Amino acid sequence: MANILILGAGVMGTALSVPAADNGHSVRLIGTPLDQQIIAALKRPGGVHPKLDDPLPANVEPIDIEELDARHVEEADAVIIGVSSPGIEWVFAQLDALIDDPRPLGFVTKGLVAGPAGVSTYAEAVPESLAAVPRDLFIGIGGPCIARELANRRPTASIYACRDRGRAEELSHLMQTGYYRLETTDDATGVEACAALKNFYAIGVSAMQTGYPDLVRPGAQTRNPTAAAFSQATREMALICGQFGGQPATAFDLAGVGDLHVTVGGGRNSRLGHGLGAGRRVSEIMGVELAGETVEGIDTARALSGWISRGIETGRLKAAELPLALAIVNAIVDDAPFDFDFGLMGRS
């Protein structure tokens, strides 16, 4: 049995403790400074994560950030970074302080970073100072995975990606259960690109779920526009994935199609899309029903915006191949009405 350290006690970090614990491993679940109430709740007898349904297995040890010491990290056979994107800077700082010897690092944080040299995924944007965490130990985790369902042991499949595929195999061996099925790939770039892109595209696809009401049946929605946009999103994800140096085919599997499917129709990115489809603007939606929430697709849109513009200017990208991305970027960056022109699909 192994020791697994999970950094971040949000829903995803906490949910990942369940298959790890079900496999008999000792799991240490470390809260960030923002997770102190969660850790306190988990420490109570029979305590439950405020956003999950059931107590965690007995072999999951909740640990407050104040209690974290070097021994916890030294004893870990694998570390899983389970924070969402606002926590990523904190995690990088912790890693720098905590990790002396390189070890496998599972990574669920999804996002893109725009820098002077272009756009990169979080795993690729790890500060150079983190010499103890070489990128070929980063194992990106993609695929359809609503955390609460995983914590409830409902079945799904995910994909673990590492440049050194053997590392992904090792971690998947520790984590796979009957309900959490794991594949591996060496296309870390592709899986992490898709993990970020699917939040972004879920905004646009979900907008179709409210943007084209049935003309006859009150309250009903049409379904062709959503399906056509889903297909377009898949195609565009594959194109961007390839441009990032990943494999386009990664977008057609669990990390792309699978994760986009589960992200459309539920969650914060989708709710933003539903508001946009109803003709509202991002600023309004973010000021009302999503006030205070992190919508990761917004950050991805901002990171992609300049990259797409420069790509079109230099001929590396064609606007005609990314109509859905451009419509989403425009709505978010310019706080404009979402306007996807179906006339940009099909023959010109």
Q: By CB under 8 A, name the binding residues for a copy of itself.
A: 53, 143-146, 149-150, 152, 154-157, 169, 172-173, 176, 178-179, 181-184, 212, 214-216, 222-228, 230-232, 234-235, 238, 252-254, 257-259, 261-262, 265-266, 342-343, 345-347
CB 205, min distance to a copy of itself, A: 9
Given the residues 43, 51, 110, 198, select the one marked as catalytic: 198
Q: Strand, helix or coil at 114? A: strand
Strands (DSSP E) found in 145-245: 156-161, 180-185
**Nearer to a copy of itself (CB atom), residue 31 or residue 140:** 140
Q: Catalytic residue at 110?
A: no
**Nearer to a copy of itself (CB atom), residue 84 or residue 172:** 172
- The answer to whether the CB of 324 falls within 8 A of the CB of 198 is no
**Nearer to a copy of itself (CB atom), residue 307 or residue 340:** 340
CB 75, min distance to a copy of itself, A: 26
Ramachandran sector of residue 42 (left: φ over 0; alpha: ψ -120 to 50; beta: rest): alpha
CB 100, min distance to a copy of itself, A: 31
- The answer to whether the CB of 258 falls within 8 A of the CB of 230 is no
**Nearer to a copy of itself (CB atom), residue 32 or residue 270:** 270
Which among 77, 90, 63, 68 has a CA at the least distance from the CA of 9? Answer: 63
Instruction: Report how far residue 210's alpha carbon sits from residue 220's, in angstroms, rounded to the nearest whole number.
Output: 9
CB 70, min distance to a copy of itself, A: 33
Q: Strand, helix or coil at 103? A: coil
CB 217, min distance to a copy of itself, A: 9
Q: Please count the other Cβ atoms lying within 10 Å of the Cβ belonging to residue 346.
A: 7
Instruction: Report how far residue 184's alpha carbon sits from residue 126's, in angstroms, rounded to the nearest whole number.
Output: 22
Report which secondary-structure segment, H or E, holds 81. Answer: strand 78-81
Work out the end-to-end distance of the chain between its first and last CA atoms, rounded to an integer number of angstroms: 59
**Nearer to a copy of itself (CB atom), residue 30 or residue 276:** 276
Q: Strand, helix or coil at 6? A: strand
Which among 20, 55, 13, 15 has a CA at the least distance from the CA of 34? Answer: 13
**Nearer to a copy of itself (CB atom), residue 81 or residue 262:** 262
CB 226, min distance to a copy of itself, A: 7
Residues marked active site are found at: 198
